[in-house]
């Protein structure tokens, strides 16, 4: 279970990396809206999962 939490934390960090990735002036500039959207969704989904798991641990379930 501990590995799952670390994987979710790494996924949140990867989401932040996608949002902050500088792509101006490269061939990836056209994909910037897609990478930003995927990054924001990753941050939201995995953060909500971590909050849920934290609440379940506090409630003892």
Three-state SS letters, the chain: CHHHHHHHHHHHHHHHHHHHCCCCCCCCHHHHHHHHHHHHHHHHHHHHHHHHHHHHHHHCC
Residue 1: predicted pLDDT:
67
Residue 34: closest CA among 17, 47, 18, 50: 18
Over the stretch 8-51, which tens digit does the pLDDT of each residue have? 999 999 999 999 999 888 898 899 999 999 999 999 999 999 99
Q: Where are the domains of the chain?
A: 2-59
pLDDT confidence band for 58 (50 / 70 / 90): very high
pTM given for the model: 0.84
Question: Terminal CA-to-CA distance of the chain, rounded, Å?
Answer: 14
Residue 53: predicted pLDDT:
92
């Amino acid at each position: 279970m501990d590995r799952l939490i670390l994987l979710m934390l790494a996924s949140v960090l990867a989401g932040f990396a996608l949002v902050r990735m500088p792509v101006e002036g490269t061939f990836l500039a056209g994909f910037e809206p897609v990478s930003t959207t995927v990054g924001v969704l990753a941050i939201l989904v995995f953060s909500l999962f971590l909050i849920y798991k934290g609440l379940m641990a506090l409630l003892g379930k």
